[in-house]
Structure 1
Amino acid sequence: MRLRQIQNTPVAVTELGFGASVIGNLYRVTPADDATAAVDAAWDAGIRYFDTAPHYGLGLSELRLGAALRHRPRDEYVISSKVGRLLVPNEEPHGVDTEGFVVRDDLRRQWDFSRDGVLRSIEDTLERTGLDRLDIVYLHDPDDHWRQAAEEAMPTLAELRDQGVIGAIGAGMNQSAMLARFLRETAADIVMLAGRYTLLDQSALDDVLPAAQEHGKSAVAVGVFNSGLLSRDRPAEGMKYDYQEAPPELVARALAIAEVCATHGTTLPAAAMAFPHTHPSIINVTLGMRTPEQVGRNVELHDQHIPDGLWDDLRAQGLIRSDVPAERGRGRE
């Protein structure tokens, strides 16, 4: 699987990444054996970028991912985690986590983008994963914490990067405007862009992607299915878009895109995975993968040939923005 370099850093990631939120029991229980088997299947398929966070399953994702990778050659893969949510003892547990993960709530999340919070979070992550280092560290959802994130957390990460402790630093969010500020105003090397450069939402063309190009920085795309609406060959009523039921007009637009995909011999989910790579600053698409079967499907979709004419037709029919780059950022030998 092709490697892409995070600009101006020593870190390179495979074009397809393994998102480990789901093996932290996102929305439903994932048996431990399935989680390990999913990581093994990703490795066998050539995936060498793995993303996790303390938030995912109150540390369960980090525990499972670290255990699954521990016997692998450390220099052969890239792992990223995140800071901003410290895990602390929960004095008033109710039994089950209330933020989407089916795990006990003996711990709770505490927002903290201070220098001490960042250092403690990284130390805790290394302990949970059992690894000796992290390759990429992102600030996780700092939407309501710009000042502390930009003035304390990011300089702390930059210090660790400059010491060689971390390979690359950045921020990950569901919005693009603040990510653009991180690229323009801080030492961030890379951003994790969730849902804002997809077949249904190209708003990142207004801010974060121009900032990445201007400053020679990179982006990872996540949420490329927009919570599910782009995940099937034929979208249907009742499917989700950005975590809520998709409005009828978006379902109709997704169906129209699916029809154009079919005329080019491909499918909507394959096109949704390939689309972010139309922009040269996007070097990776990361997807949640719960089982070996999901890994296999995602790798198959990633490997599908997407003709450049598809993007031309979608632009011509007004189904994607006219300023979507004409050339592909990704190529295959």
Structure 2
Amino acid sequence: MRLGLGCAQLGNLYQARTDEQARAIVDAAWACGVRDFDTAPHYGLGLSERRLGAALADRPRAEFTVSTKVGRLLVPTGEGGDDLADGFAVARTHRRVWDFSRDGVRRSIEESLDRLGLDRIDTALLHDPEFDPETALRHGFPALAELREEGLVGAIGAGSKDALVLSKLVEECTPDTVMVAGRYTLLEQPAARRLLPACAEAGVAVLAAGVFNSGLLAEDVPRAGLPYEYGAAPPDLLARAFRIAEVCAGFGTTLPAAAIAFPARHPAVTAVVLGADDAAQVRRNAALFAAPPPDALWPALEERGLL
């Protein structure tokens, strides 16, 4: 089981960070043994890819893997303003254009290679294919397969919060991996019904992301105002998280530790990908990953109808 670093924060997710602060996040991850890094053009309009590439430039290339995504092309714009409407504290120098076509996928990979300063992408994922599933599966995925044959990318697949569209990809195409975000977590497990069994049967590696459900499971004691998806957590989910946290405390562990450990228990899951706001959070997450809760926690949660 591997621990990966999600790099949306390198693109100034929700708040501005300096180049030095972004570099410190990657440096801390490396020091903790993390060697898998996930980014996307979407994250900060390319800023995450540029910062990640700069931070990895002096690392041995054979010792790390980078995954990035396709589906949103970055087109220059003269509109001005900021990108906070899409969650990133950066200048709106570009706009995102959905494009899962063959040409769009190839252009996206070429531009990502340039921003990252790499000659190949280890894992390339269709990003949120549910926004145009027909084009993504019928044209975008074959384009990734071509790039894999050419050696420009390694493993291919898709990353999404939509477990259904990921299931269709696994059942109708031949992906190497999928990244499921927020749909196989301690709080909710819709991916367990169809997606994870399909991946296990097909030998598709699952990367579990969004395991804190946008932040609701990130603190030892959940509180009002913590995020879930794109707003404050609704009362019923907050109450559920609080009950889970109480059970965790009774077993000498914490809600974040259980949130990290839970998806890692599934045999189809090969890595847990965690973002971090700063270097200290990277170190905390790595420590929690290395010290999972006692096995007795899981049946206790099941008995209480919390899992």
TM-score range, shorter chain: over 0.9
Residue 168 (structure 2) pairs with residue 181 (structure 1): yes
Residue 99 (structure 2) pairs with residue 112 (structure 1): yes
Q: Secondary structure of the equivalent of 1:143?
A: helix
Matched with 1:317 is 304
When the two chains are superposed, the root-mean-square deviation of aligned CA atoms in Å is 1.1
Q: Secondary structure of the equivalent of 1:18?
A: strand
2:121 to 126, 134, 153: 134
Matched with 2:235 is 248
Q: Secondary structure of the equivalent of 2:66?
A: strand
Matched with 2:80 is 94
Residue 247 (structure 2) pairs with residue 260 (structure 1): yes
* Distance in 2 between residues matched to 1:106 and 1:202, nearest whole Å: 38
Q: How far did residue 316 of structure 1 move? A: 1.2
* Distance in 1 between residues matched to 2:229 and 2:73, nearest whole Å: 25
Q: How does the TM-score come out when normalised to structure 2?
A: 0.97
Q: Secondary structure of the equivalent of 1:46?
A: coil
Residue 111 (structure 2) pairs with residue 124 (structure 1): yes
Q: Secondary structure of the equivalent of 2:90?
A: coil
Residue 238 (structure 2) pairs with residue 273 (structure 1): no
Q: Secondary structure of the equivalent of 1:113?
A: coil
Residue 291 (structure 2) pairs with residue 289 (structure 1): no
Letter in 1 for 2:180: L
Q: Secondary structure of the equivalent of 1:102?
A: strand
Letter in 2 for 1:56: Y
Q: Secondary structure of the equivalent of 2:89?
A: coil
Q: Secondary structure of the equivalent of 2:80?
A: coil
* Distance in 2 between residues matched to 1:113 and 1:44, nearest whole Å: 36
Residue segments in structure 1 that go unaligned for 5+ positions in a row: 5-14, 321-333
* Distance in 1 between residues matched to 2:180 and 2:8, nearest whole Å: 15
* Distance in 2 between residues matched to 1:107 and 1:249, nearest whole Å: 38
Q: Once structures 1 and 2 are overlaid, which stretch shifts more, 244-253 or 189-198?
A: 244-253
Q: Once structures 1 and 2 are overlaid, which stretch shifts more, 60-69 or 95-104?
A: 95-104
**How many residues were matched structurally?**
306
Q: How does 1:53-68 map to 2 (within 5 A)?
A: 53-68=40-55
Q: How far did residue 174 of structure 1 move? A: 1.1
* Distance in 1 between residues matched to 2:299 and 2:240, nearest whole Å: 16
Q: How does the TM-score come out when normalised to structure 1?
A: 0.90
* Distance in 1 between residues matched to 2:292 and 2:43, nearest whole Å: 33
Q: How far did residue 144 of structure 1 move? A: 2.2
Residue 298 (structure 2) pairs with residue 298 (structure 1): no
Q: Secondary structure of the equivalent of 2:129?
A: coil
Runs of 4+ in 1 over 3 A off after TM superposition: none
Q: How far did residue 60 of structure 1 move? A: 0.4
Matched with 1:37 is 24
Instruction: Note if contact 1:220-1:284 (Cα within 8 Å) is conserved in structure 2.
Output: yes
Letter in 2 for 1:66: G
2:218 to 226, 231, 251: 231
Matched with 2:144 is 157
* Distance in 1 between residues matched to 2:99 and 2:265, nearest whole Å: 35
Letter in 2 for 1:133: R
Matched with 1:22 is 9
Instruction: Note if contact 2:120-2:151 (Cα within 8 Å) is conserved in structure 1.
Output: no
Q: Once structures 1 and 2 are overlaid, which stretch shifts more, 266-275 or 153-162?
A: 153-162
Q: 1:22 to 1:66 in 2, by over 3 A?
A: same
Q: How far did residue 160 of structure 1 move? A: 1.9
Matched with 1:85 is 72
Residue segments in structure 2 that go unaligned for 5+ positions in a row: none
* Distance in 2 between residues matched to 1:243 and 1:286, nearest whole Å: 19
Is the helix fraction higher in 1 or 2?
A: 2
Q: How far did residue 55 of structure 1 move? A: 0.5
Deviations 1:68-90 (A, max 9, x none): 00110001001000000011111
Q: How far did residue 67 of structure 1 move? A: 0.3
Q: Percent identity?
A: 54
Instruction: Note if contact 1:23-1:289 (Cα within 8 Å) is conserved in structure 2.
Output: no
